[in-house]
Chain A
């Protein structure tokens, strides 16, 4: 309880002034023998080979985002339009003509004859929407609370950080489930499906604010003592101006890193909740929902209904993760 748990994926990013130290700069400085040895021993090669992976990951993320945003334009059919469904098309394997209708689908169809590719594109849209919105919520909340805790200090700082400590003790997915359950309990039953997406965003967003707050607070504490902030205070700038205009820009680097990593976490959290049946409703299936549906057909041999949504989710989560990793190393070499 006294020692907050260390989640390796969420080491607080350090102060930004330690940022870009290029490899050549660290060599050309005249340094002591032992430090020299250490600098030379670090894995340049590893760094180098990872850069192309980051580029590929970036392209994959960009592609998936574009597809999701342009879903109505790029999807072959609208999977939610009952008129486009033909039960006769049910269980068509990918790239094969249906035995009754003769139609064929790139990724096949599900039990209701829905084109799987279209369902995945629309599912991706839901997954990304929930992911991005939750990160924005978590970021807004975390950055604000972190700034306040760091700048104002005192009992407010204590209160915020104690809550953060306790919340960090529990896995965020558990907290998201609890918030989801509670919100569901508060919302009248007939509105539950309609509001499910917003409930989901709130639940995931509220479960991920802590890393933002901790990093921002730590940086704020450092920046607060710097001369330019003291100077800003002397010329009579108000608290809000100092916090938002002078301190905030200094934390943007680490916040960007955390936001990227959190986006991967949020996407997985959303998929998990939806897979468990306590996330996106059947009327707005996300990738997780599609995987849950696909699992039912695993034993009967319709493998594609599970496989394609799963691969899409994996590509998305992995790419965002790799991108976050690369950002972390680039913006803050010390964290490696």
Chain B
């Protein structure tokens, strides 16, 4: 048995404050196989982006990893992410309008990345940059253009080219299409998926959109208030969500065959608690329709793909 491409176990991230330490991620664990597409879904502030930033070693101070381990093909990378950043793990951010340096041509930025990671000379790197632009569907003649001369969708294609340039094994895409027009979101997602597939690169796709998860990912992980609440094969989770939060998310998403287009989408009542005022027990219990007394006291352990007392009882009996 070989080690999975990426293995994250018990990852915790904290933000130390003057009076308290805010636990932004609480013992997140998951694995990712080569070539697989894993989706992270949850509301804003659930910790999706933090998970990506923690893997890349790009947490903004004073945020820091306080526990757990991250391994890439069996090799630990937490605390030394610089060695793999860009080269073996690429990242794409939400806003293509601000992801590129406005004062330097796109060619410049591509060549810089290629030269750094692949050790090519300037000519070969420029050649490669042109090919990459072709691959993402941009005329290679525009290699000398500045970012502001491209539309948002085109800029995100350039960002994808930049992330793929060093031939990474994993791409972390943090809301890659949220800032784009709805009409081109699907195009850009399809492009990202196709290019990664061709290269055998795995993808972690961070989004708040269940629709995107359904269309794009192989497996899905649902995050709520810094904790993993459910994981599973995307098709299975969508067909039969188990955690009440996942159910709520599904119900609030249009066009997933569960609800017809005409119905008013039910929203999950209330809003996610702030990290400074987390409820005891299961963090979802104040909003949960199936809340039980035990939920208010203790958090359910993450067993068999879900962290919920509704299923815990059966598991305990079985075990």
Residues of A within 8 A of B (CB): 24, 27-34, 36-38, 40-41, 44-45
Contact = CB atoms under 8 A, between A and B. Distances in A.
B44 A27 contact: no
Given A33-B44, A33-B45, A36-B45, A28 B274 contact: yes
Interface of B: 15, 17-18, 22, 24, 44-50, 53, 59-63, 271-277
Given A31-B44, A33-B49, A36-B45, A41 B60 contact: yes
12 contacts: A28-B274, A29-B274, A30-B273, A31-B44, A33-B50, A36-B15, A36-B275, A37-B59, A40-B62, A41-B60, A41-B61, A41-B62
Contacts of A38: 60
A30 B22 contact: no
Which 10 pairs across A and B sit closest by C-beta, in order of nearness?
A: A33-B49, A32-B44, A37-B60, A40-B15, A28-B274, A27-B276, A33-B50, A30-B274, A30-B272, A30-B45
Contact of B18 (A28, A34, A41, A44): A44
B271 A40 contact: no
A34 to B, nearest CB: 6
Contact of A27 (B49, B53, B62, B274): B274
Contact of A32 (B45, B271, B276, B277): B45
A28 B59 contact: no
- Interface class of chain B by DSSP: loop
Contacts of A37: 15, 50, 53, 59-60, 63
A29 B276 CA distance: 9
A15 B59 CA distance: 32
A27 B15 CA distance: 12
Which of B18, B24, B44 is the most central at the interface, judged by chain A CB atoms within 10 Å of its CB? B44
Contacts of A28: 274, 276-277
B272 A36 contact: no
Contacts of B63: 37, 40
Contacts of A31: 44-45, 274
Contacts of B276: 24, 27-28
A28 B15 CA distance: 14
A45 B59 CA distance: 20
Contacts of A44: 17-18
Given A28-B276, A44-B17, 20 more contacts: A24-B276, A27-B274, A27-B275, A27-B276, A28-B277, A30-B44, A30-B45, A30-B274, A33-B44, A36-B275, A37-B50, A37-B59, A37-B60, A40-B15, A40-B62, A40-B63, A41-B60, A41-B61, A44-B18, A45-B18
Contacts of A29: 274
A38 B53 CA distance: 14
Nearest to B225: A30
A34 B49 contact: yes
A271 B277 CA distance: 54
A275 B275 CA distance: 58
Nearest to A38: B60
A27 B48 CA distance: 18
Contacts of A40: 15, 17, 22, 62-63
Contacts of A33: 24, 44-50, 53
A28 B49 CA distance: 19
A33 B24 CA distance: 9
B243 to A, nearest CB: 20
A60 B22 CA distance: 40
A24 B15 CA distance: 15
Contacts of A24: 276
Contacts of B46: 33
A78 B270 CA distance: 73
A244 B15 CA distance: 47
A296 B44 CA distance: 68
Contacts of B53: 33, 37
